Amino acid sequence: AFADALKSIARRSDVKACVEADPVLYPLLRRAAARFVTGDARQDGLTIARNLSSLGYRVSLEYIGENTTDAEECNAAAREMEELIGDLGSSRMLARVSFDLSHIGLRIDDELAYENLMKLAATADKSGIELFISMEESAKTDEILAIHERAARIHSHVGITLQAHLHRSEEDARKLPANSLVRVVKGAYKEPDTIALPRSGKLNERFLTITEQCVRNGHRVSFATHDESLIEEAIARKWPASGRFEFETLYGIKPDLSAGLQEKGQPVRIYLTYGREWYLYLCHRIAEFPPNLYRAVTAMIGG
Ligand code: FAD
């Protein structure tokens, strides 16, 4: 309930406008977000990406945004992503661009999202960059999977995220096109028990089952979690040795865990975000892990 309330408050444009206009609150929240978000501008993301890349990490970049309901804003977001792809393409980093389909049109019309995706995929093809579709709340899963399937038939470098918490995901993993790019996550959205598992040992078992299936089917897998028991199990099962497997963590969350894996020679990708919608991203991270609220307040008061 807390997670849902926080996200719906964050999405309200009147609340956002109030926060943005508040000369005291806005900079304080911005400081709290700095742990998770590289900055407002593409250059902020690229600078951190270059630093991480020089340390041997792969990177993902996201221009933050979701649920955009204005077609011109969707197209503007897609143009920003094209610029990002262009910059990454000339940087020689092992990079990918991640995004929500609802940022580039899904809330208006599936075809708008598909068309923007195809434009991005064509640019990414030329630049040698992978694209990754994030998974949103369960009401959108069918549409997102259908758009991915259409795009991946033409562009094999368009990846998809599966949420292990959804009961349907084992079946969705089975149906992925051959040679897919897939990211497995637990799931960040609050869903009813009828369609999803809460954080639990059962969820971790399902996370491993889905990954095992993807590895066996020859897909390239990003194992996206900060759960150390899952990471240990992946190493014990020798999945990274396949060369088609990597760990992926969010910037600002358990950096020592990522560094430890990296030092041991494990393939690690760090997921970075930038953009003026950092406020929404901060709320997602707090909703997913409420102790972050305490850390955010500490950061705001200068701790
Ligand atoms: P958890 O059991 O939630 O956490 C394990 C431990 O990690 C916690 O005990 C805590 O120590 C630490 N931790 C976890 N989250 C946080 C946090 N926010 N702040 C501080 N510490 C934390 N979800 C989607 O629904 N759709 C997506 O497309 C999506 N893409 C993602 C891409 C990447 C690369 C990653 C890493 C995650 C993504 N997520 C996505 C989020 C994911 O679903 C989980 O909500 C998130 O990864 C936390 O779950 P966990 O697997 O780390 O395990």
Evaluate whether 102 touches 67 at the Cβ level (below 8 Å).
Answer: yes
CA distance 178 to 142: 19
Nearest to 114 by CA among 104, 123, 122, 124: 104
233-262 pLDDT, tens digit each: 999 999 999 899 999 999 999 999 999 999
Q: Tell me whether 0.90 is exceeded by the ipTM.
A: yes
Ligand 1 midpoint to CA 223 (Å) = 11
Looking at the chain, the whole-number percentage of residues with pLDDT higher than 70 is 94
User: Across all residues in the chain, what is the average pLDDT?
Assistant: 92
Ligand 1 midpoint to CA 71 (Å) = 30
204-237 pLDDT, tens digit each: 999 999 999 999 999 999 999 999 999 999 999 9
Q: Domains in the chain, start-ordered, CATH in brackets?
A: 38-274 (3.20.20.220)
Pocket test for ligand 1, best of 250, 251, 284 (most atoms within 8 A of CB): 250
64-118 pLDDT, tens digit each: 999 999 999 999 999 999 999 999 999 989 899 999 999 999 999 999 999 999 9
Ligand 1 midpoint to CA 285 (Å) = 8
Which residues are within 8 A (CB) of 130 and not within 5 positions of it... i.e. 6 or more apart? 95, 96, 97, 124, 157, 158, 159, 181
Which amino acid, 125? D
Q: Tell me which residues have their CB closer than 6 angstroms to ligand 1.
A: 134-135, 161, 163, 183, 185-189, 199, 224-227, 248-250, 253-254, 271, 285, 288-289, 292
Query: Do the annotations mark residue 175 as ligand-binding?
Result: no
Query: Do the annotations mark residue 219 as ligand-binding?
Result: no
Neighbours of 164 (CB within 10 A): 25
Query: Do the annotations mark residue 173 as ligand-binding?
Result: no
269-301 pLDDT, tens digit each: 999 999 988 888 888 888 778 777 777 767 766
22-67 pLDDT, tens digit each: 787 788 888 888 889 999 999 999 999 999 999 999 999 999 999 9
Ligand 1 midpoint to CA 40 (Å) = 22
Ligand 1 midpoint to CA 225 (Å) = 6
